[in-house]
């Protein structure tokens, strides 16, 4: 939280390199931060309104999403993430997603930091997946074979954060619609682990060969529809949210981050709700798992579908900002707020 002072807080910018440095080597801390954020959320000590989707009729595959939120407790920060997803960027040789994160002082409402948000977003997504995997695996048994469907930036971050859990992995699997992407991920990300890596020709063979499956694709609608693929009852981190057909969802135990948030925007669980007319197939939230209010079964597939909560971005962003201020990499912008006398500002036109 911004330091208390007489006037508005100082305003600073934290660029991407500083964000990366603040988070480097601190994956265990970030997983714990994200778990704490879920606990605050489950205890009703956050405000997390619905995300707002800005869509474009002339660019139907693209969108920009606003995620406002507020976190209480010791964090004490309000703010908003503004994140774009333009898949056509890949053809330009730049990442699909870009983002900024604004942090607001809860005392005055003034923004006090603007951070490069794409790394924060990827990190909080990966830490969320790792937190769920750690807790659910503790109930069901440690996975030995991990498979990745989709091999972009998010998959890389999820691998990094899963590696923090210290599991003894026997084999990694990879599948991507792009054989080049799959091969690059296998060689550059997974091969350095020293574990065997198998590049699969299709999603089915990967799913059937994996104890834990990570879906991190850009799929706009379900493409995995056969529940028999999951007959060995794997743990599924359904991070991309739209890969699984309704029959797969209904045949699984379903854990989500927030019920109301995830049942929208044509996610797989949203489609299942529309198809059945109810949401009884959702078994628990991650908060239930963290607080021992739910035990994931070992005799069914378990699917974790995290819509992504803005409170997670704020918790990680506030952590990054504190570190960046401490090491001098936050760039202070003097005079950012103008005419602070209330009588002057009241007459401004």
Per-residue pLDDT of 68-127, as tens digits, reads 999 998 899 999 999 999 989 988 989 888 999 999 999 999 999 999 999 999 999 999
What is the band of 4 on the pLDDT scale with cuts at 50, 70, 90? low
For 190, residues 6+ apart whose C-beta sits below 8 A from its C-beta are 159, 172, 174, 197
What pLDDT does 143 receive?
Answer: 98
Nearest to 34 by CA among 124, 97, 142: 124
Q: Which two tokens stand for residue 193?
A: 């682990």
Look at residue 309 and tell me whether its pLDDT is greater than 80: yes
- Evaluated on CA atoms 216, 121, 132, 69, the torsion sign reads negative
β-strand partners of 215: 149, 238
What pLDDT does 222 receive?
Answer: 98
3-state secondary structure (DSSP) of residue 31: helix
Angstrom distances, CA of residue 174 to CA of 131, 223, 265 = 22, 17, 27
Look at residue 134 and tell me whether its pLDDT is greater than 70: yes
Encode pLDDT of 317-340 as tens digits: 999 999 999 999 999 998 888 777
Q: Which two tokens stand for residue 83?
A: 């994140």
Encode pLDDT of 245-277 as tens digits: 999 999 999 999 999 999 998 999 999 999 999
For 314, residues 6+ apart whose C-beta sits below 8 A from its C-beta are 69, 70, 71, 75, 77, 78, 79, 101, 103
Give 185's Cβ-side CA count (13 Å radius). 29
The CATH number of 12-120+310-344, from 3.30.2350.10, 3.90.1720.10, 3.40.50.300, 3.30.1780.10, is 3.30.1780.10
Q: Which two tokens stand for residue 333?
A: 């912008």
pTM of the model: 0.92
3-state secondary structure (DSSP) of residue 242: coil
Look at residue 45 and tell me whether its pLDDT is greater than 50: yes
Classify residue 51 by its DSSP letter. P
What is the band of 209 on the pLDDT scale with cuts at 50, 70, 90? very high
Nearest to 173 by CA among 163, 161, 159, 160: 159
Domain residue limits, the chain: 12-120+310-344, 135-305
Alpha carbon distance 325, 334 (integer Å): 15
What pLDDT does 186 receive?
Answer: 98
135-305 fold? Rossmann fold (3.40.50)
Look at residue 348 and tell me whether its pLDDT is greater than 60: no
């Amino acid at each position: 939280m911004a330091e208390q002072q007489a006037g508005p807080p100082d305003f600073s910018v934290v660029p991407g390199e500083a964000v990366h440095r603040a988070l480097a080597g601190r994956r265990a801390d970030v997983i714990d931060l994200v778990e704490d954020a879920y606990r605050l959320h489950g205890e009703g000590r956050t405000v997390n309104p619905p995300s707002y989707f800005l869509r474009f009729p002339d660019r139907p595959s693209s969108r920009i999403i606003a995620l406002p939120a507020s976190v209480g407790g010791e964090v004490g920060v309000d703010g908003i993430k503004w994140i774009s997803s333009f898949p056509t960027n890949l053809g330009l040789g730049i990442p699909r997603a870009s983002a900024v994160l604004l942090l607001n002082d809860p005392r005055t409402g003034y923004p006090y930091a603007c951070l490069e948000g794409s790394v924060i977003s990827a990190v909080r997504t990966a830490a969320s997946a790792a937190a769920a995997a750690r807790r659910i695996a503790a109930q069901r048994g440690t996975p030995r074979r991990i498979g990745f469907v989709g091999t972009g930036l998010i998959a890389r971050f999820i691998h990094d954060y899963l590696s923090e859990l210290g599991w003894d992995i026997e084999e990694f699997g990879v599948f991507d619609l792009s054989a080049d992407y799959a091969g690059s991920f296998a060689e550059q990300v997974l091969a350095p682990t020293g574990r065997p890596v198998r590049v699969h020709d299709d999603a089915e063979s990967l799913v059937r060969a994996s104890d834990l499956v990570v879906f991190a694709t850009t799929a706009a609608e379900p493409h995995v529809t056969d529940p028999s693929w999951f007959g060995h009852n794997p743990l599924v981190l359904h991070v991309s949210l739209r890969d699984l057909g309704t029959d797969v969802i209904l045949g699984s135990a379903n854990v989500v981050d927030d019920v109301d948030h995830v049942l929208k925007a044509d996610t797989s669980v949203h489609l299942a709700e529309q198809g059945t007319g109810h949401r009884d197939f959702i078994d628990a939230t991650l908060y239930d798992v963290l607080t021992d209010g739910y035990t994931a079964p070992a005799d069914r597939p378990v699917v974790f579908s995290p819509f992504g909560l803005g409170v997670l971005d704020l918790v990680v962003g506030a952590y990054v900002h504190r570190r960046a201020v401490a090491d001098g990499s936050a760039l202070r912008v003097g005079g950012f707020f103008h005419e602070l006398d209330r009588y002057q500002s009241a007459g401004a036109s």
